[in-house]
Chain A
Amino acid sequence: MDRDALLAAALGAAVLSGCTSGSGSRPTPAPTPTPSASPADPDLALLRSWATAERALAARYAPAVRAVPALKALRANHLARATAVVDHLRVRGAVAPAVPRQPRAPRDTRALVRGLADAESRQAARYLAALARVRDPLVAMLGAELAAGARQHATVLRVVRP
């Protein structure tokens, strides 16, 4: 092998290692706890809004579950999702914001279920729109799961017979 070829090989290795560092085939590391939330963390505001949304939706299901007991499973899904989001906040040293007071639910069960279906559809769209801004791939995966879950709920609520 001549000197030029050796130089080319060395340069190639350097270029390739530069291209792949940090995004190679290694598994994405799990989030590690930090002592306090960093205001520079771009995912923090999103996670806070997701925690609020999931807990608010869970709260909105309470009157619907009384009317349609089968919807209990959907409320449980929101509680599980809220827990997952709060876990992401905890490892960042942040806490979930308080859930805002919910508007009074309509008395008519059909209107109640229809309102929930609309709320789930809107929330799914919000999750999808936010994905472009997410920095941490694990948070992006969670956001995609929340969007898919909200779409499932909207689908069921549009066909369920109250």
Chain B
Amino acid sequence: MRPTRRVLLLCPLLLAVPGPARAQEQDTLAALLEEEYAAIHLYGVLGARLGERARDVARAAYDDHRRHRDLLLSLVEGTPPAPRLSYPLRAPVATAGAALRLALDIEDAMTVRWRNAFGTVAARDRAACAGAYADEAAHLARWQMMLSGPARATTAFPGR
């Protein structure tokens, strides 16, 4: 039986439909992009409360979040989600201590998110995503170090 012209015309459409794994990867990356937007916004808020030394650490983390946002923008297919005008704070950031704890919370959450996202990405995107995951884990350790010292700054498997 020879395929009819109509069937042949449908084939490219069928091949363009993403499989479940690809769709899951795209959903995960889009959600992670929104988390990166929030992290960038929140670093802008907490940076004003920090002392000079901590502000340098925050600036490095902020720059990395912007790089990770750009990485995700290159990985998300179609129209990526846009940043919101503002992101809610779970608690007021009135002191340097509160700003440090917020930075720690951001990096803790982002380390988990990037680790989980790594499990869904295609093999070709692994190295880039693992690099971002390692960046987040390093920032988490830096804030932990400031708050509680070297003994509690690291974990065997960050984000697990």
Contacts and interface: CB of A to CB of B under 8 A. Distances in A.
A74 interface: yes
**Is chain B's interface secondary structure helix, strand, loop, or mixed overall?**
helix
B7 A4 contact: yes
B127 A131 contact: yes
Interface residues of B, number: 46
Contact of A151 (B135, B152, B156, B160): B135
A47 interface: no
Interface of B: 3-4, 6-7, 10-11, 14-15, 17, 19-21, 24, 111, 115, 118-119, 123, 126-127, 129-131, 133-142, 145, 149-160
Nearest to B158: A148
Given A15-B14, A131-B127, A152-B140, A7 B3 contact: yes
A152 B156 CA distance: 10
Contacts of B131: 128, 147
Contacts, number: 148
A147 B134 contact: yes
A143 B137 CA distance: 14
A75 B21 CA distance: 37
Interface in A89-124: 124
B159 to A, nearest CB: 7
Given A12-B14, A148-B133, 8 more contacts: A19-B15, A68-B150, A127-B130, A141-B118, A148-B159, A155-B142, A156-B154, A160-B145
Contact of B126 (A8, A11, A144, A156): A144
B150 A70 contact: yes
Contacts of B139: 155
Interface string A6-21: 0110011001100110
